[in-house]
Amino acid sequence: AQSVTQLDSQVPVFEEAPVELRCNYSSSVSVYLFWYVQYPNQGLQLLLKYLSGSTLVKGINGFEAEFNKSQTSFHLRKPSVHISDTAEYFCAVSDLGSARQLTFGSGTQLTVLP
């Protein structure tokens, strides 16, 4: 079984400032890692994913994340945020088997302030 911990439930940040949303996971097997974004009253949209290879993953909207196996972390970063980045962000893992269901963290509400 896997578990995901998102260390910050709310992150306020000023526009054009950098941001890091933290995610740690626990698993007895190798996993795939994902970040999803949920805008108000909408579904989940994939930001980026780590399956294998380079530990630095680039996603949409200028976001990137770094997989750190020794620290079992997958933190999400953006060098300069915009008001439109205000949303809830979810870190998730899945195993490498055929089912691939996602285990989600509790989410981080990112609020970008003018």
Partner 1 sequence: DSGVTQTPKHLITATGQRVTLRCSPRSGDLSVYWYQQSLDQGLQFLIQYYNGEERAKGNILERFSAQQFPDLHSELNLSSLELGDSALYFCASSSTGQNTEAFFGQGTRLTVV
Q: Which residues bind partner 1 (CB under 8 A)?
A: 34, 36, 42-46, 49, 51, 90, 98-107
Closer of 53 and 114 to partner 1 (Cβ): 53
Minimum Å gap between C-beta 21 and partner 1 is: 16
Minimal distance, residue 107 CB to partner 1, in Å = 7
Q: Minimum Å distance from CB 4 to partner 1?
A: 10
Closest CA to 22 of 114, 105, 85, 100: 105
Q: Which is nearer to partner 1, 46 or 83 (CB)?
A: 46
| Identity of the amino acid at 77 | R
Dump strand ranges (E) for 1-114.
2-6, 10-14, 19-21, 23-27, 31-38, 44-50, 56-58, 64-68, 73-78, 87-95, 103-104, 108-113
Whichever of 78 and 107 has its CB closer to partner 1, that residue is 107
Closest approach of Cβ 44 to partner 1, in Å? Answer: 4
